Amino acid sequence: MTFKTTGHIFVPVMGRIGYCREHILDAGLEVLTQKGYNGTGVKEIVDAAGVPKGSFYNHFTSKEAFVIEAVERVALDNLKMAESILTDSSQPAKDRLLAFFSGGCDQMSKDEFHGGCLIGNLCLEMADENEAIRETTSNIMCKQIGLIKHCLQDAKQKGELRESLVPDDLAEFIYYAWEGAIMRAKGSRDCRPFNVFTAQLQGFFK
């Protein structure tokens, strides 16, 4: 981190090293989301970023290290967003969940049903091949499920959830169904899987 002055106020600005690292992460994430782990090489990442290969290795020891950092970066942003929605106890739990999952169809349509969930894609592609990536994606999924559990437990306490349903089990089911809806939408190239998911989700509540 370097500093520049504006009058007598010191304003922090990111130095060239920090900027380059973030730029490579941003560019590489775009490639990774579209092509997956095995379709993304260091060359594709540096070409997308417009930097020499040496710049990549100044910041990351390997493609695996880059991918893990990139995924954790995306997950941190997503988890912050999810927490702000799913823990807002001023709203009914059903509305919180619908708000959290809304936009999936719009985003997939915008991307012409390419990409999808980076975490889910990497887990499917790499869980059998790379233990570090498997563990990283699994931990992220557990955190996401945990936030859904919190929302459903609140719904149970407030009498919003159907009596026969167990929040912990239901949270896992909802998350797995959502990942399945994303996968099916990629295959069918339409939003019907999201519509079915949303309709079933609403049925869990009174």
Q: Are 134 and 145 part of one and the same domain? A: yes
Own/partner pairs, 60-65, CB within 8 angstroms, 24+ separation? 60/24, 64/130, 64/132, 64/133
Residue located via tokens 């930097």: 51
Tell me the CA end-to-end span of the chain in Å, nearest whole number.
53
Instruction: Give the pLDDT of residue 18.
Output: 52
Q: Are 83 and 27 part of one and the same domain? A: no
CB 69 within 8 A of CB 29: no
Q: Are 55 and 85 part of one and the same domain? A: no
CB 125 within 8 A of CB 36: yes
The answer on pLDDT for 3 being more than 60 is: no
Instruction: Give the pLDDT of residue 155.
Output: 98
Identify which of 8, 24, 189 has the alpha carbon closest to the alpha carbon of residue 115: 189
Q: Are 75 and 55 part of one and the same domain? A: no
Q: Are 74 and 119 part of one and the same domain? A: yes
Identify which of 26, 36, 33, 39 has the alpha carbon closest to the alpha carbon of residue 73: 26
Q: Provide the domain count of the chain.
A: 2
- For 81-118, what is each residue's pLDDT tens digit? 999 999 999 999 999 999 999 877 778 888 888 888 89
Q: Are 55 and 70 part of one and the same domain? A: no
Q: Are 31 and 107 part of one and the same domain? A: no
- For 34-86, what is each residue's pLDDT tens digit? 999 999 999 999 999 999 999 999 999 999 999 999 999 999 999 999 999 99
Write down the pTM of the prediction: 0.85
CB 25 within 8 A of CB 45: no
CA–CA separation, 203 vs 123, rounded Å? Answer: 29
Among residues 60, 75, 92, the one where a domain terminates is: 60
Domain that holds residue 115: 63-206
Between 206 and 8, whose confidence is greater?
Answer: 206
- For 138-183, what is each residue's pLDDT tens digit? 999 999 999 999 999 999 999 999 999 999 999 999 999 999 999 9
